[in-house]
Amino acid sequence: MAKAIENMSLDELQAYQKEVEAAIKGYEKKRKADALAAVRETARTHGFTLEELIGGKATGKTTAKGVAKYANPADPSQTWTGRGRQPAWVKEALAAGKSLDTMAI
């Protein structure tokens, strides 16, 4: 560093802080990518893909799938967890005067 921190102006310190934060984020992103690559390589040496071992996509993100609580009486393959937006078949049944209890699994 060419200039001592004590001699920097507020604007220079804030700019330097942004540079440091960006460098930290880049460092963490690279460490995660390196760790993921190492885990994939370990899985490969054992004859598996990472996806096979963890049962899904290896993106680092997980989504919790809820358990279905309601089923369409006309088509039981259509289900709904009761969370999020109501499917069209639920809206139609409610508009027809049915209650959610009649569609409970």
Q: Is the pLDDT of residue 6 over 80?
A: yes
Within a domain: residue 31?
yes
Domain count for the chain, please give it.
2
Question: What's the CA gap between 50 and 57, in Å, rounded?
Answer: 8
Within a domain: residue 3?
no
Range of the domain at 94: 70-103
The secondary structure of the chain, three-state, reads: CCCCHHHCCHHHHHHHHHHHHHHHHHHHHHHHHHHHHHHHHHHHHCCCCHHHHHCCCCCCCCCCCCCCCEECCCCCCCEECCCCCCCHHHHHHHHCCCCHHHHEC
Residues 8-20 have pLDDT tens digits of 999 999 999 999 9
Question: Does residue 81 share a domain with residue 43?
Answer: no
Q: Is the pLDDT of residue 41 over 80?
A: yes
Within a domain: residue 20?
yes
Residues 61-73 have pLDDT tens digits of 556 678 899 999 8
Mean pLDDT value across the chain: 88
